[in-house]
Amino acid sequence: MYLYNSATHKKEEFKTHTPGRVEMYTCGPTVYHFAHIGNLRSYIMEDVLEKYLRFAGYDVNRVMNITDVGHLSSDADTGEDKMLKGAKRENKTVMDIAKFYTDAFFDDCRKLNIKTPDVVQPATGCIGEYIKIISKLVDTGYAYLAGGNVYFDSSKLERYYIFNDHDEEDLAVGVREGVEEDSNKRNKNDFVLWFTKSKFEDQALKWDSPWGVGYPGWHIECSGISMKYNGEYLDLHCGGVDNAFPHHTNEIAQSESYLGHPWCPHWFHVHHLNDPAGKMSKSKGEFLTVSLLEEKGYDPLAYRWFCLQSHYRKTLVFSWENLDNAAAGYTKLLSRIAALKPEGDVDQAVFGECRAKFLQQVGNDLNTSMAVTAVFDALKAKTNDATKLAVIGEFDKVLSLSLLEKAAALREKAAQMVQTGGGDYVITGEGDPDVDAKVLARYEAKKAKNFAEADRIRDELKAQGIEVTDVKGGASWKRV
162 in the same domain as 87: yes
Residues 6+ apart with CB under 8 A from 236: 14, 16, 22, 23, 24, 25, 264, 266, 267, 268
pLDDT (tens digit, 9 = 90+) per residue, 24-36? 999 999 999 999 9
Pairwise CA distance, residues 230 & 209, whole Å? 25
Instruction: Specify the DSSP class assigned to residue 454.
Output: H
Residue 434 — pLDDT band, cuts 50, 70, 90?
A: confident
- The per-residue pLDDT of the chain, averaged, comes to 90
DSSP 8-state secondary structure symbol assigned to residue 71: -
Cα–Cα dist 306/41, whole Å = 10
Instruction: Give residue-wise pLDDT tens across range 296-347.
Output: 999 999 999 999 999 999 999 999 999 999 999 999 999 999 989 888 899 9
Which residues have CB under 8 Å from 349's CB, separation 6+?
Answer: none
| Whether 392 and 431 share a structural domain | no
Query: Where is the domain boundary, 389, 410, 431?
Result: 410
The answer to the question of residue 295 being in a domain is yes
Q: Report the CATH number that the domain containing residue 262 is assigned in CATH.
A: 3.40.50.620
Closest CA to 39 of 97, 120, 108, 121: 108
Window from 1-10, 102-111, 172-181 with minimum mean pLDDT? 172-181
What CA–CA distance (Å, rounded) separates 101 from 330?
Answer: 29
Weakest mean pLDDT among 130-144, 349-363, 409-423: 409-423
Which alpha helices (DSSP H) does 363-476 contain, by range?
A: 368-380, 385-399, 403-415, 433-447, 451-463
For residues 298 and 399, membership in a common domain is answered with yes
Check pLDDT > 80 for residue 278. Answer: no
Same domain, 141 and 248: yes
Residue pLDDT, tens place only, 43-89: 999 999 999 999 999 999 999 999 999 888 776 677 778 888 888 89
- Whether 281 is in a domain gets the answer no
Same-domain check for residues 242 and 301: no
Of 125, 370, 380, residue with least CA distance to 228: 125
Would you state the pLDDT for residue 172?
A: 40
What pLDDT is attached to residue 198? 57
Which of 208, 238, 270 is the last residue in one of the domains? Answer: 270
133, 27: one domain: yes
299 occurs within a structural domain:
yes
Tell me what pLDDT residue 141 has. 98
How much is the average pLDDT of 348-367? Answer: 97
- Residue of 283, 253, 98 whose CA lies nearest to 178: 283
Number of domains into which the chain is organized: 3
Q: Is 362 a residue whose pLDDT tops 50?
A: yes
Q: How far apart are CA 16 and CA 67, in angstroms?
A: 27
Query: How confident is the model over 450-457, as a mean pLDDT?
Result: 89
Q: Which domain holds residue 464?
A: 416-479
Q: Is residue 280 part of a domain?
A: no
Q: Which of 349, 375, 410 is the last residue of a domain?
A: 410
Q: What is the mean pLDDT of residues 130-137?
A: 98
Say if 278 falls within a structural domain. no
Strands 236-240 vs 21-26: parallel, antiparallel or unpaired = parallel
One domain for residues 433 and 403: no
Q: Are residues 226 and 348 in the same domain?
A: no
Peptide bond into 433 cis (omega under 30): no
Residues 35 and 184 in one domain: yes
Lowest mean pLDDT among 345-349, 420-424, 443-447, 454-458: 420-424
Is there a contact between 308 and 368 (Cβ–Cβ < 8 Å)? yes
Average pLDDT of 261-290?
Answer: 84
The CATH number that applies at residue 364 is: 1.20.120.1910
pLDDT band at 247, cuts 50/70/90? Answer: very high
For residue 172, what are the CA distances in angstroms to 72, 80, 190, 249?
Answer: 19, 21, 11, 16
Same domain? 103 vs 12: yes
Question: Mind listing the pLDDT tens digit for each residue in 162-200?
Answer: 997 544 443 344 334 444 568 889 999 999 999 986 555
Same domain, 175 and 301: no
Is 279 within the bounds of a domain? no
Top pLDDT among 332 and 424 is at 332
> Is 276 domain-assigned?
no
> Are 188 and 322 part of one and the same domain?
no
Lowest-pLDDT range of 89-103, 227-241, 460-474: 460-474
Whether 275 is in a domain gets the answer: no
